[in-house]
Structure 1
């Protein structure tokens, strides 16, 4: 009989790809969302409607059924997990928590990053919340028998998303021959993963007893400089020589304060990963998507519908100001 998997959340960009892959691989998923999912859910996936943070509603749903694995996509602070370790410790074979590689200390003391690299995020709120969740769940694994697997994705994208803060506005500017701003000198290293590759690596972890008690960096190993990322998207958009202007993270944040933390605590640092543990747990896994192919898919998706090509005039102005600075 195929495995039954309960997804707490998981109908967003990454989760929807995982749901589709789970069905393809013969699993029987049930997905819990508070409202209508933002992306289509396969017809043969059971959907339940309640807030997964409502522990009483969750307990009522679980006590009537059994699941071989549970995946929590929506734990961002310990409060989001209240009651879940106690609930699932004895009734599922695996509780998988979706964390993030943002938890790793910056700058990373040694590259490549492994699952045992130092964890610390003193300023970036998203990373701090995930660290606190990991600690709570690890205590439950060590003290109460919660069959825990922690999965840490990094920068995952699909055709609907442009993988830098400026979104589609950057592409429009490059097509118009206007300069766009890249943080630092454009040579820091970054790792991107297409959501369908994430799904193919993730689904084999479900019900995998070798993954219980483990933390797994689920990344592609596709290493690019930020200049290569911008140039790859420019090439997909038909721009041969984009005008890239390099500015410090602090200078960019002076015009775009909302970018301050993500640039200072994340994007400015080189991030590349050792994928040995992932390859050991999922033998034969290899990404199918290069970023050049992913960039073409992004451009094709946006060009197919003018409504998708959102242009931010305020951001456009900020780019002009930053590009004009020496």
Structure 2
């Protein structure tokens, strides 16, 4: 069944690749607008090659094309989003902006997070820029721009391995394989909502062309919220190694590395769960089905099939070691 014409700005990244596959499966005629720099391609997609942030090129690239849905995966500040709006206003019936659950109030206010939770994040510039994007888009919606705001949480596909400090490379898995200590905040029992990209895609594509989603903000994430002990423990078991966890207080880690402070105080350093009732009312078929073990196994298989991508971020690993050493020097414990 033909659903309509959709354009993804991006289309081959961590989130958008699985969304592309799902959209095609559900009958969308799909176009990608990107620079063609990804290692992954999606068969059956029409591709427009251009830098989506160069608005001077867009009219010529897009011609007279119009879409039922445009999904913007790559705008990270209001200026970029404003350029996208200028290009696509009047060319689409629905514009979906991918924001972030990191926008929600930090520290958390308690209880499962919902869409009406205040957006305040003094710790992470990325989140503040996404908040500014949402504020800009809210004004545009009030003027009649047909937009939907989507907030994913920590979402990973085959090319990512979830980690507290950087998920887009092989660093954490490599440290485990090498017997190095894995830095974890607190006692490792804080829950963290992880969503596989295939499950995210189920929610996103369900919002595409959904008239009830116009003017709405919707968060998309799975129901599972494993602890970091469970996340890392599952990864270690699949790697066939015994993990060596080094536990240190969140604030100690943050005080010794500004980058880690952003990621912990501004995002992952809390017990975090979400209430996705709104999504499930808009997309009744949203039933996440990819388990943590299955998702991690697929990631390890992907990296195993692409050994050139099993890169270790030496700088990131050294920063972990520096915090670990500082904690031990302060009298903190070592990993077993």
- Displacement of 1:229: 1.0
Cα deviation, 1:117-148, whole Å, max 9, x if unaligned, reads: 011122311111111111111101112x1011
Contact 1:69–1:96 (8 Å) recurs in 2: yes
Pairwise CA RMSD = 2.2
Q: Are residue 263 (structure 1) and residue 267 (structure 2) matched?
A: no
Partners of 2:83 and 2:46 lie apart in 1 by: 24
| Separation (CA, whole Å) in 2 of partners of 1:255 and 1:6 | 43
Q: Which residue of 1 aligns with 2:322?
A: 318
* Per-residue Cα deviation, 1:48-99 (whole angstroms, up to 9, x for no partner): 1222223333234445112111111111111102344355443321110010
Give the aligned length: 323
Residues 320, 308 of structure 1: alpha-carbon distance in 2 compared, 3 angstrom cutoff: farther
Gaps in structure 2 of 5+ consecutive residues: none
Q: Secondary structure at the match of 1:4?
A: strand
Paired position in structure 2 for 1:211: 213
CA contact (8 A) 1:156 1:194 kept: yes
Q: Distance in 2 between matches of 1:290 and 1:2?
A: 29
The residue that corresponds to 1:27 in the other structure is 28
Which whole-Å CA distance do the structure 2 matches of 1:311 and 1:62 have between them?
39
TM-score by length of 1: 0.91
Structure 1 position 155 matched with structure 2 position 150? no
| 1:88-167 to 2 correspondences below 5 Å | 88-143=88-143, 145-164=144-163, 165=165, 167=169
Question: 1: distance between equivalents of 2:21 and 2:251?
Answer: 41
Greater shift in the superposed pair: 298-307 or 262-271: 298-307
> What's the CA shift for 1:190?
0.6
> Are the counterparts in 2 of residues 53 and 82 from structure 1 also a CA contact under 8 Å?
no
Contact preservation (8 Å) 1:108, 1:118: no
Instruction: Please give the alpha-carbon distance, in whole angstroms, between the structure 1 residues aligned to 2:18 and 2:129.
Output: 25
Q: Is the 8 A contact 1:85 1:137 kept in 2?
A: no
**Inter-partner Cα distance in structure 2 for 1:171 and 1:61:** 41
| Paired residues of 1:98 and 1:151 also in contact (CA < 8 A) | yes
Residue aligned with 2:32, SS: strand
Would you say the 8 A contact 1:189–1:225 is kept in 2?
Answer: yes
What secondary structure is seen at the aligned counterpart in 2 of 1:36? coil
- 1:276 correspondence with 2:280: no
SS at match of 2:184: strand
Q: How far off its partner does 1:320 sit?
A: 5.7
Query: Counterpart of 1:119 in 2: which secondary structure?
Result: coil
The CA distance in 1 between the partners of 2:285 and 2:307, in whole Å, is 40
| Aligned partners of 2:114 and 2:274 also within 8 Å | yes
Distance 1:104 1:302 in 2: 32
Please identify, of 303-312 and 159-168, the stretch whose mean Cα deviation from structure 2 is larger.
303-312
Which position in structure 2 is the counterpart of 1:69?
A: 69
Question: Any idea what the Cα deviations from partners look like across 1:169-196, whole Å, max 9, x if unmatched?
Answer: 3333333444322112212221111111
| TM-score normalised by L of structure 2 | 0.88
DSSP 3-state at the match of 1:91: coil
- Output the CA distance in 2 between the equivalents of 1:75 and 1:186: 33
Gaps of 5+ in 1: none
* In 2, Cα distance between equivalents of 1:121 and 1:38: 31
| Contact 1:253–1:259 (8 Å) recurs in 2 | yes
- Give the conservation status (yes or no) of the 8 Å contact 2:171–2:311: yes
Structure 2 match to 1:42:
42
Q: CA deviation at 1:256?
A: 4.4
CA contact (8 A) 1:181 1:322 kept: no
